[in-house]
């Protein structure tokens, strides 16, 4: 786990412990579910910055998106996995 700094929308940077940039971005969405922003900025301790667009997010298992969820609905369990596909394994959509 590493320290990352996450800016969700126009909120100030928040410190999170995560295993990757993607995990830090996911934690940013979990921390602010009331107002999911379009852009999440993640910075590591060396100053490297990555920008994540929540509207472009796609499940690596089944291909569902924020605007085109699985039949019957789904939710995110990782930056790139929906709960139907789980953190690992095959799609169950």
User: What number is the average pLDDT over the span 27-31?
Assistant: 84
Q: How confident is the model at residue 28 (pLDDT cuts 50, 70, 90)?
A: confident
Q: What is the SS3 assignment for 24?
A: helix
pLDDT of 93 above 70: no
User: What number is the average pLDDT over the span 62-70?
Assistant: 93
pLDDT of 24 above 60: yes
How far apart (Å, rounded) are the C-alpha atoms in residues 34 and 37? Answer: 9
Evaluate whether 52 touches 40 at the Cβ level (below 8 Å): yes
**pLDDT given at position 90:** 54
User: What number is the average pLDDT over the span 51-74?
Assistant: 92
Q: Using CB atoms within 10 A of its CB, is residue 19 exposed (0-12), middle (13-18) or buried (19+)?
A: exposed
pLDDT of 54 above 70: yes
């Amino acid at each position: 786990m590493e320290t990352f700094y996450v800016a969700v929308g126009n909120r100030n940077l928040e410190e999170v412990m995560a295993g990757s940039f993607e995990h830090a971005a996911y934690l940013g969405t979990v921390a602010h579910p009331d107002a999911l922003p379009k852009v999440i900025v993640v910075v590591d301790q060396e100053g490297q910055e990555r920008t994540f667009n929540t509207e472009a997010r796609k499940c690596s298992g089944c291909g569902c998106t924020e605007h085109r969820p699985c039949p019957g609905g789904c939710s995110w369990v990782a930056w790139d996995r929906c709960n139907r596909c789980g953190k690992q394994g095959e799609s169950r959509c």
